[in-house]
Structure 1
Amino acid sequence: MNKEIFSHIPCGQTLPQNNIHAVSVSMPSLQDVIDYEEQTPEILEKITVAYPRFIMHPYLKLLAKYLKEKYKISDSYEVVLLSSKKAVEVVSSKYFIHNKIEINEPFGVILVQNGTSQLQKVLKFIQHVGYNLSSRLAEDYLYKVGIISKLHQENLEEKTKAKEILISNLATAYKQPTKNICLNPSGMNSMYCVLKGLKDIQAKNSRTILVQLGWLYLDTMNIVNHYFEENKIFHDISKLDLLEEFLKKDGLKVSAIVTEIPTNPLVQTVDLEKLKNLCKTYSIPLVIDSTFATPYNLDLNAYADIYVESLTKFACGNADVLMGAIILNETSKISFISQEFFKHCDEPYIKDIQRMAFQIKDYKKRVKKISSNTKKLVEYFKTASFIDEIFYCLQEKYATNYKKLMIDEESICGIVSVTFKKDFQKVYDNLNFAKGPSLGTEFTLLMPYTYLAHYDLITSKEGNKFLEKISLPINLIRISVGTENIEEIIKEFEKINFI
């Protein structure tokens, strides 16, 4: 009897398993997810490593404790670690924080008073802007001072060549010069640096409105709210006539339009031809989060002025590096000064760059395999009696828009979201795929998207109405299709027939 390749992964196990630098964590039951969202003591004992912008890595906790003792810091202060001293300036200036003691470390440290609302605000802000300290930097520091006895063993590119390999791979993928690419310690930090740059530019040209097109990733929307007092949101990307009417009135006040191609989690693609023409009419920069598309699925060169990609996802493929990139389009008709965006950027830790440089060499091959698997999985879902709705990049309403951008006939985004005709909790609990946050992994990864991203909306009547208004199903599973044998992936989904 053949051994099944998918098996139950206990709650709290890292994804990938046995990897201290993993950015995802197993939440195998819907109750695990609910307990995590409600922060029950039992779940917090199990989940010690998760997406680093949401849960503090255990090495960062150890490092904060060590620094507290090293600098004799009072218990009335919380030690908060940041990616750099530049990050300290950003956070400190927003929350008027001034360390009362001199702290000299090769990364950022701020002291925030315990028992105040400020601490939670600071931690939330860091989550949104992505200035997180690298777990690999913390690991090296702790090893050097003898707090931990061994380092995680992993494949790394040579230190002297790693950054060049990483940047050149991205330059080739995006068909851009290397000077137009900048790395960041997270994908959200890339988005923050772009939006902060746009904010600086708008102060000079009186364009005060930022347009958000589509239901964007949670923290992108949070950054928009932090930095743009005036913003306009168009939830339905299929109704560009509403945007057009708005631009007729206020187009010359718009500093940029931000969107995702395709959108997360409903995998919808806007009519980029029409959108770009609108941008051209009013000289508006178009910022595209290309994480889902990847430069190997879609050609966005004729449309994007600025790309933002979370390299943590498909570029890494193993969910064990937090990193992002900003890519400025050389062919853009909008005049940009790269320093306006790159000046806010932090250099990722060298070992993260080494790891990403090793992983990115298989980027194209990985995406092509995932694309092929996704096509076959969608065809299976179309005939499956237990499926209610399928959201994928070639769904009829958006197919023409997507096809115009495809690099080849296999270039389908590796994300599929589905709802079911069967009990959602039973379906989720009984599937043995890896289940947790993140996407773009070589292993198939499921996420109950609305529960993990918008639990606050699920738990209120007003929130439920809003979710209905934007057509975001509560009982939706987002599937990040992996590179495993497609027959095995389908075989695992077949279990739903017997639930």
Structure 2
Amino acid sequence: MKDHKNMKFATKAIHAGLEPDSATGAIMTPIYQTSTYVQEEIGNHKGYAYSRTLNPTRDALEKNLAAIENGNFGACFGSGLAAIDCVIKMLNPGDEVISTNDLYGGSYRIFKTIFEKYGIKFHFVPMDDVSHIHTKVNSNTKLIWVETPTNPMMNIIDIEAVAKISKSNNILLAVDNTFATPYLQTPLDLGADIVMHSATKYLGGHSDVVMGALVCNNEKIAKEIYRIQNSSGAVCGPQDSFLVLRGIKTLHLRVQRHCENGEKVARMLAKHPKVDKVYWPGFESHPNHEIAKKQMRGFGGMISFSLIGNKMEDAHALVKKVQLFSLAESLGGVESLIGHPATMTHASIPKEEREKNGIVDSLIRLSVGVEDAEDLIADLENALN
């Protein structure tokens, strides 16, 4: 196995955790489409007994993912929410979680509608100012859940500052790194205990797979993750594992282009007379721009913006008029997507809560793809005009 510790990112993405197939020399990891494995005798097998517990294709992906996040252990799941589900299952009734107030609607839904009834209490605070976390910390606090940049308001949370709070209070810190990807940000290096991904998004990168992942450094945490992964069984299949492995090989190339295009689109929107506010961490006027500069290696391809007059019908008209931006849930694929958080990704959050966090009726979220930026800008300008 190649030693990935001294590899640079692009080399790790292509080589870490991967070897030519021992049987044939195939350079691509084979899709081990099998549920079970023949054993020579009772208890004597080649490391694989049943594919829910361990599958060679998934195993390769988990090693590769751990390497690009600068972690020691990776675990993959059937979706991003299945990965979140695993983290919350590490807690007990009576435990409390402090989460950022602006976050993916599915995360909010699983916290409030699934786990709250099992006696786990959730607090949602604006973490762009980490001092707000202190107001909720008590002896029952067992987890801090961070998303940065946040979905959809692009708030930036200082991971290092939150890690200081979590360490001094013996609290687990988990960071949803879906928007930034390990190419732009490595939360474990900043003090996080667990990194979570919806691998559906940038890691897969081609809108053809649904998957989640967790990465950590601590062996005790890893054992608990693997126990829950195996016990609950929300694993991904070998075909999907193969697709995400393939996606990761071009992650650095794609995210670099997402960043370049994202900047051009954000700057155009900021000058447009029909646009009210633009949310993108690359602007010097962004409240936590300096923190973004410190902990990220680029500002990503996710942008949100609201329209002058803040009318729902204007937002609906705009998403109908664009031609290159496809109206769809999700993000992080090579093609550009446009969404309306209030009725799509964040519809599960009550309107009052949404608006308190800035998710107004005219808010539009863009996942800027890797097409030619000039075409994307022309498409948005035509729709806005």
With the shorter chain as reference, the TM-score category is 0.7 to 0.9
Partner of 1:242: 132
Q: Which amino acid aligns with 1:427?
A: L
Letter in 2 for 1:287: A
The corresponding residue for 2:316 is 425
For each residue in 1:249-280, what CA deviation from the matched residue of structure 2 results, as whole angstroms up to 9, or x when unmatched? x1x22111112111101111112232222112
CA distance in 2, matches of 1:365, 1:483: 10
Indicate yes or no: 2:202 matched with 1:318.
Answer: no
Alignment partner of 2:195 out of 307, 314, 323: 307
1:46 is matched with none
Is the contact between residue 467 and residue 474 of structure 1 (CA under 8 Å) also seen in structure 2? no
The residue correspondences of 1:352-391 to structure 2 (distance < 5 A) are 352-391=240-279
Change (3 A) 1:243 1:167: closer
**Shift of residue 392, structure 1, vs aligned partner:** 1.3
1:449 is paired with a residue of what secondary structure? coil
- Write the distance in 2 (CA, Å) between the matches of 1:426 and 1:222: 28
Amino acid at match of 2:339: M
- TM-fit CA distance, 1:318: 1.1
Tell me, yes or no, if the aligned pair for 1:185 and 1:322 is still in contact at 8 Å. yes
- How far does residue 287 in structure 1 lie from its aligned partner after superposition? 0.6
Q: Which residue of 1 aligns with 2:294?
A: 404
Equivalent of residue 176 in structure 1, options 62, 71, 76 = 71
Cα separation, 2, equivalents of 1:374 and 1:171: 27
Q: Which one has a bigger Cα radius of gyration? A: 1
Match of 1:288, SS? strand
Letter in 1 for 2:82: N
Q: Which one-letter code corresponds to 1:381 in the other structure?
A: L
> Normalized per residue, which structure has more helix?
1
The one-letter code sitting in structure 1 at the alignment partner of 2:225 is F
| Pairwise CA distance, 1:454 | 4.0
Aligned partners of 2:95 and 2:56: how far apart in 1?
Answer: 42
Distance 1:329 1:388 in 2: 43
Change over 3 Å in CA distance of 1:174–1:496 after alignment to 2? same
Distance apart, 1:164 and its partner CA:
5.2
Q: Distance in 1 between matches of 2:380 and 2:263?
A: 15
Listed as ranges, the matches of 1:142-291 within 5 Å are 162-163=57-58, 165-177=60-72, 180-197=73-90, 199=91, 202=92, 208-225=95-112, 226-228=114-116, 229-247=119-137, 250=138, 252-291=139-178
Q: Which residue of 2 aligns with 1:453?
A: 345
Please tell me the residue identity of whatever aligns with 1:218. G
Residue 486 (str. 1) matches residue 381 (str. 2):
no
Alpha-carbon distance in structure 2 between the residues aligned to 1:354 and 1:299: 23
Q: CA deviation at 1:394?
A: 3.0
The one-letter amino acid paired with 1:256 is: L
Deviation of 1:194 (Å): 1.2
Q: Cα deviations across residues 75-125 of structure 1 (Å, max 9, x unaligned)?
A: xxxxxxxxx9xxxxxxxxxxxxxxxxxxxxx999xxxxxxxxxxxxxxxxx
Cα gap change, 1:162 to 1:490, in 2 (>3 Å): same
The size of the alignment, in residue pairs, is: 320
Alpha-carbon distance change, 425 to 348 in structure 1, aligned in 2, over 3 angstroms: closer
Summarize the Cα distance change of 1:362–1:165 in structure 2 as closer, same or farther, 3 Å threshold.
Answer: farther
Q: What is the root-mean-square deviation of aligned Cα atoms in Å?
A: 2.4
Match of 1:95 in 2: none
The offset of 1:181, in angstroms, is 0.5
- Structure 1 363/162 Cα, relative in aligned 2: closer, same or farther at 3 Å? farther
* Paired residues of 1:287 and 1:308 also in contact (CA < 8 A): yes
CA 486–309 in structure 1, closer or farther in 2 if over 3 Å, else same: same
- The answer to whether the 8 Å contact 1:304/1:329 transfers is no
Rate the CA distance shift 1:164–1:466 in 2: closer, same or farther, 3 A: closer
Alpha-carbon distance between aligned partners in 2 of 1:472 and 1:314, rounded to the nearest angstrom: 23
* 302 and 182 in structure 1: CA distance in 2 versus 1, 3 angstrom threshold: same
- Retained in 1: the 8 A contact 2:101–2:127? yes
Matches within 5 A, 1:5-24: none
Per-residue deviation, 1:443: 0.3
Q: How does 1:84-95 map to 2 (within 5 A)?
A: none
What percent identity do the matched residue pairs reach? 25
Q: Following the alignment from structure 1 to structure 2, what is the Cα–Cα distance between the partners of residues 378 and 295?
A: 22
SS in 1 for 2:175: strand
Q: Distance in 2 between matches of 1:474 and 1:489?
A: 23
2:100 and 2:124 in contact (8 A); partners too: yes
SS in 1 for 2:202: coil
Shift of residue 246, structure 1, vs aligned partner: 2.8
- Aligned equivalents of 1:470 and 1:448: distance in 2? 15
- Counterpart of 1:394 in structure 2 is 282
Letter in 1 for 2:319: Y
Which amino acid counterpart does residue 291 of structure 2 have in structure 1? N
Shift of 1:393: 2.2
Amino acid at match of 2:104: Y
Q: What SS does structure 1 have at the residue aligned with 2:330?
A: coil
Shift of 1:363: 1.4
> How far apart are the structure 2 equivalents of 1:356 and 1:230?
33
Check 1:456–1:175 CA distance in 2 against 1; reply closer, same or farther (3 A cut). closer
Name stretches of at least 5 consecutive residues in structure 2 with no aligned partner: 1-34, 36-49
TM-score (norm. length: structure 1): 0.60
- Between the aligned partners of 2:60 and 2:253, the Cα distance in structure 1 is 17
| Matched residue SS, 2:220 | coil
Q: Which portions of structure 1, spanning 4 or more consecutive aligned residues, are displaced by more than 6 angstroms?
A: none
State the AA in 2 paired with 1:315: L
**Distance in 2 separating the partners of 1:464 and 1:164:** 42
The 8 Å contact of residues 307 and 329 in structure 1, kept in 2 or not, is answered as: no
Q: How many angstroms does 1:321 deviate by?
A: 0.7
Distance 2:346 2:185 in 1: 28
Cα distance in structure 2, aligned partners of 1:467 and 1:308: 23
